[in-house]
């Protein structure tokens, strides 16, 4: 059996705490099992050079892990003087996932900064960052609307993400670190609330996998993101896009 007797197709306990930080326009603490990520969304009244005078906005993400968010201490990237390859990959993924459901053409020349900071890691930090980042983003957009900065909420859909893996020959949803470290196949699915795919990341770490196994992994991910979407809806209440 998995941790706490969890079935293979069930996500870990999810908790979303809104307005976790005082200063950002939107913020949450998202807890997925033992993984904990603080997500904050800040609004900047300018855009990158390639969008100046276009009337369009931009969304970008940054991701980091506290030095002791893992079993052993990691050196801060600010000390090494460069952003690591894994960090760069994850923050680009978060940005793509959230841009996939936002109409940036109607927010004016503003940048939405999504900051995701892992304070405790036990697998699935990138997927938790997307799940929490979305809730913080909605919070920030409603803040702008209430202040009269934007006239409508520029969201086409919601978005959530989940991991699926093949561990010991079994397909498992929402891997913990212990499961992920032993996985023969490791996948991440980013899906909208309507069930559309934004991104799939999949790697056979040890052995190739079949089309039939991929189909089952997709079904698990579809079920998992559906449950996350329901909990995002509860956390946001009337702010959740219809």
Q: What local confidence, expressed as pLDDT, does residue 1 receive?
A: 64
Quick one: CA torsion of 115, 28, 217, 175, rounded to 10 degrees? Answer: 90
Q: What local confidence, expressed as pLDDT, does residue 242 receive?
A: 66
d(CA 203, CA 214): 11
Q: Does the CA dihedral 42-136-179-166 come out positive or negative?
A: negative
pLDDT tens for each residue of 90-115: 999 999 999 999 999 999 999 999 99
Task: Pick out the chain residues at pLDDT < 70.
Answer: 1, 242
Inter-helix orientation angle 211-236/125-146, to 10°: 40
Which numeric CATH code is attached to 3-237?
3.30.230.70
Q: What residues pair up with 113 in beta bridges, in sequence order? A: 42, 60
| Closest of 178, 177, 179, 202 to residue 189, by C-alpha | 202
d(CA 5, CA 96): 34
């Amino acid at each position: 059996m998995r941790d706490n007797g969890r079935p293979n197709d069930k996500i870990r306990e999810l908790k979303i705490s809104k307005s976790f930080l005082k200063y950002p326009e939107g913020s949450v603490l998202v807890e997925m099992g033992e993984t904990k990520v603080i997500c904050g969304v800040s609004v900047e009244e300018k855009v990158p050079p390639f969008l100046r005078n276009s009337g369009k906005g931009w969304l970008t993400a940054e991701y980091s892990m506290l030095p002791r968010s893992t079993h052993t201490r990691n050196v801060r990237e600010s000390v090494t003087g460069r952003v690591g390859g894994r960090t760069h990959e994850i923050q680009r993924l978060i940005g793509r996932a959230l841009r996939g459901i936002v109409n940036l053409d109607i927010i004016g020349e503003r940048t939405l900064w999504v900051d995701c900071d892992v304070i405790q890691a036990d697998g699935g930090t990138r997927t938790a960052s997307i799940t929490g980042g979305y809730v913080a983003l909605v919070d920030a957009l409603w803040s702008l609307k209430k202040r009269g900065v934007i006239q409508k909420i520029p969201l086409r859909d919601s978005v959530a993400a989940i991991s699926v893996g093949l561990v010991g020959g079994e397909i498992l949803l929402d891997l913990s670190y212990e499961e992920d470290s032993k996985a023969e196949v490791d996948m991440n699915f980013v899906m909208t609330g309507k069930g559309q795919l934004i991104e799939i990341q999949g790697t056979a770490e040890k052995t190739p996998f079949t089309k039939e196994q991929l189909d089952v992994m997709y079904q698990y991910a579809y079920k998992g993101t559906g449950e996350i979407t329901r909990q995002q809806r509860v956390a946001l209440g009337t702010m959740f896009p219809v």
